[in-house]
Amino acid sequence: MRSRLIARWQGILLSLIGIVATVWLAATDRLGLYIHPRYFWFTVIMAGIAAVLVVAAFAFAPLREAEHEHEPGAELGGEDGPDHEPAHRHRSEASRAGRLRGALAALIVAGAAIALLVLPPTTLTSSTATQRSINSTGSTLGGEAPTLVGGDTSQFSVKDWALLLRQNPDAEYFAEQDVAVTGFVTPSPDDPENVFYVARFVVTCCAVDAQPVGVPVYFPDWEESFAADQWVAASGAFVPNEGSTSAEPLLLSPDDVTVTEQPEQPYVF
Amino acid sequence: MSRLPTPSPPALHAPHTRPPRRRASVGLALGLGLLVLFAGIRLFAPDATGDLLSNSVQDFFTLSISVVIESLPFVFLGILLSIAVQVWLPEGFLLRHLPRNAVARRVTISLLGVLLPVCECGNVPLARGLILRGLTVGESMTFLLAAPILNPVTIITTYQAFGWDDGILVARILGGFVIANLIGWIYSRHPSPMSLLTPTFQASCAHAHDEVRSSRTRRSVDMFTTETAAMLPALFVGSAVAGLIQVAVSRDLLVTLGQNPVLSVFALMALAFVIAICSNVDAFFILAFGSTFMPGAVVAFLVFGPMIDVKMLALMRTTFTARTLVQLTIIVGLASAALGLGVNAVA
């Protein structure tokens, strides 16, 4: 009986968990950790509408249940509802299946509550950045590159520099350019001792499609000073890759690398 | 459900023992209590709980949560639209003006998704409602398969994700249209189409007009309860599987498969089958793989996924027999694979 109740109300419970999590993330300005800003309003408005329906669902008695109670014979005699199980001939089997379904439903509700209500929201980590291979070709990096000549390079993001490096890996092009970027430390897969990336995730829709981009920094034995996933601000100039086994043709030779706070909006769009 | 006393919470069974107003306020209090409880957990959950998890486990949660937060409003929208069509529109409003010629009728039905921009999750209950209102089984399949692809939300998100690159958008729209009409035509030739439906659903077709007598508002709220109970567990489990695959499947394996014009098509169809993501957002999902796979594979993913996947089969099983669904899966699978391979051959 209890399991049937859970199975029936799990949609409302899951809605409520999703709505509370969404509204809280929006109120604390952290919705951007999961989805692109263009969906903020849509997401919040739909959460509001759903909240009204959830409250109404608590206030009204479920119709179908009420209907069954009016017709005690309904369950034995006929199959009167689209959601009705044809298993009435095998009562014990049906009740076992019902218990199992109830247990599964409870498990899903509990899992959703832990994921959405208990765990603190965070960004993706360097383990995903490494797994998704930084600066891999693709539409995320296919966007318009900013123009370097005459552009305001002080405003350039990690993504802008990564785009430029891909499109024009020519040392002379970058000569005399001051580079300043902020991102999290991700070890280079082909030369993890001497090179790390100052990386950011580019998000097109939600965190699932996050693509890592990064500027490679030549910093022998960087692990003595920094740890993976730490946020740093690095400045310097691009120089041809000479001392490293990394496949990158140009590396940032840093004048200065300092540990910094994670920015409010850790992803770039 | 009998009249015997049960140990369940009184608020949920109150209507027959208490006056409705009393019942409503008990229910409201219970709902608001849960709301306060959930908000309280969220506000006071210590930040340190996250430090217990390793990076990959943390990323699994972040990725799964992002699918939930992204899809949830679209699922709510789908449920609202299906409530609007079934409860608020006059009966037969959508079906009255359909052409009489069978082919023209199916073509029109496959474009109904333009009026009803729901993803596949919201479509199953809608298609069931349409069969009850007089659509044939073949026609309902055309609607079921076409609407998730041929609807404005899906087309816009696919355009946002891919633009006109490699003809992915055009192949998706045309492919979805042709496959849906093909299926509708095949099943329209079936000698006894009612045998394609589960006995339970056949029975409810026979009682189609014994509707529960109640106000529209109450029926709307009741539909919201039953629809969220069907959709949201599937959404949460699907999101968790999607997050798990993202963390577990190495990109090297995908890159290797993705460079083969034949294998990449089947690899992505398998992915679409397993992750069961909503058609309104699947274009963005596959964008992350866009670099890895050939365009034909992406097209196969975007055409096959909205029509057939784990979650869809579970939802459709409420209406169609298992045998029908196996046939449907095979035909749609072969057609999507042919489309994907064709796009790869041209690209």
pLDDT at B39: 92
Arithmetic mean of pLDDT, B190-215? 75
Of A25, A117, A133, which is closest to B251 when you measure between CB atoms?
A133
B229/A10 CB distance under 8 A: yes
Report residue B336's pLDDT band, with 50, 70 and 90 as the boundaries. very high
What's the token pair of residue A154? 């002080």
pLDDT digits (tens, 9 = 90+) for A99-142: 887 888 889 999 999 999 999 888 888 888 877 777 764 444 44
Nearest partner of B151 among B10, B306, B312, judged by Cα: B306
A208/B70 CB distance under 8 A: yes
CA–CA distance, A232 with A257 (Å, rounded to integer): 7
Report residue B40's pLDDT band, with 50, 70 and 90 as the boundaries. very high
Does the pLDDT value for residue B186 go beyond 80? yes
Residues in chain A: 269
Helix H or strand E segment including B272: helix B263-275
Q: Which residue has the higher pLDDT, A259 or B278?
A: A259
CA–CA distance, B160 with B283 (Å, rounded to integer): 9
B228/A12 CB distance under 8 A: yes
Identify the bridge partners of residue A180 per DSSP, sorted by sequence position: A235
Distances (CA, A) of A257 to A132, A156, A222, B187: 25, 17, 10, 67
Q: Judging by DSSP bridges, how do beta strands A179-187 and A211-218 pair with one another?
A: unpaired
Of B35, B73, B218, which is closest to A20 when you measure between CB atoms?
B35
Q: Report the half-sphere exposure of B291 (CA within 13 A, side-chain side).
A: 18
Q: Judging by DSSP bridges, how do beta strands A179-187 and A195-202 pair with one another?
A: antiparallel
What's the token pair of residue B40? 């309280």
A64/B38 CB distance under 8 A: no
Report residue B209's pLDDT band, with 50, 70 and 90 as the boundaries. low
Domain spans of chain B, in order of start: 88-346
Does the pLDDT value for residue B180 go beyond 90? yes
Residues 124-183 of A with CB under 8 A from B: 124-128, 131-133, 136-140
Which ipTM score applies to this complex? Answer: 0.81
Measured in angstroms, the CA of B237 and the nearest CA of chain A are apart by: 7
B217/A56 CB distance under 8 A: yes
A86/B198 CB distance under 8 A: yes
Q: Which residue has the higher pLDDT, B182 or B77?
A: B182
Residue appearing with tokens 């394609």: B196
Q: Going by CATH, does the domain composed of A126-259 fall within 2.40.50?
A: yes
Of B28, B233, B288, which is closest to A58 when you measure between CB atoms?
B28
Q: By mean pLDDT, which of A60-69, A239-248, B236-245 is the weakest?
A: A60-69
Report residue B251's pLDDT band, with 50, 70 and 90 as the boundaries. low
Nearest partner of B254 among B280, B222, B279, B289, judged by Cα: B289
A79/B39 CB distance under 8 A: no
Using only C-alpha atoms, chain B has a radius of gyration, in whole angstroms, of: 22
Q: Collect all residues with Cβ–Cβ distance below 8 Å to B110 and sequence separation of at least 6.
A: B142, B143, B145, B146, B147, B150, B177, B180, B181, B184
Arithmetic mean of pLDDT, B171-176? 94
Does the pLDDT value for residue A7 go beyond 80? no
pLDDT at B211: 57
Q: Where does CATH 2.40.50 sit in chain A?
A: 126-259
A208/B227 CB distance under 8 A: no
CA–CA distance, A134 with A136 (Å, rounded to integer): 6
pLDDT at B8: 44
Chain A interface test: which of B22, B68, B311 (most A C-beta within 10 Å): B68
Chain B interface test: which of A13, A36, A55, A58 (most B C-beta within 10 Å): A58
Q: Judging by DSSP bridges, how do beta strands A179-187 and A250-259 pair with one another?
A: unpaired
CA–CA distance, A222 with A232 (Å, rounded to integer): 12
pLDDT at B339: 95
pLDDT digits (tens, 9 = 90+) for A8-37: 788 899 999 999 999 999 999 889 899 888
Chain A residues in contact with B23 by the CB 8 A cut-off are 61
pLDDT at B3: 45
B284/A118 CB distance under 8 A: no
A80/B77 CB distance under 8 A: no
Residue B111 and residue B150 in contact, taking contact as beta carbons nearer than 8 Å: yes
Residue appearing with tokens 């999750």: B121
Residue appearing with tokens 């051959």: B345
| Three-state SS at A250 | strand
pLDDT at A213: 87
pLDDT digits (tens, 9 = 90+) for B86-129: 788 777 777 778 888 889 999 999 988 887 666 666 677 778 77
Report residue B160's pLDDT band, with 50, 70 and 90 as the boundaries. confident
Q: Collect all residues with Cβ–Cβ distance below 8 Å to A185 and sequence separation of at least 6.
A: A126, A196, A197, A198, A199, A222, A226, A227, A228, A229, A230, A231, A232
Measured in angstroms, the CA of A175 and the nearest CA of chain B are apart by: 31
pLDDT at B156: 86
Of B128, B207, B232, which is closest to A14 when you measure between CB atoms?
B232
Arithmetic mean of pLDDT, A163-168? 76
pLDDT at A116: 92
Chain B interface test: which of A208, A230, A269 (most B C-beta within 10 Å): A208
Chain B interface test: which of A206, A230, A262 (most B C-beta within 10 Å): A206
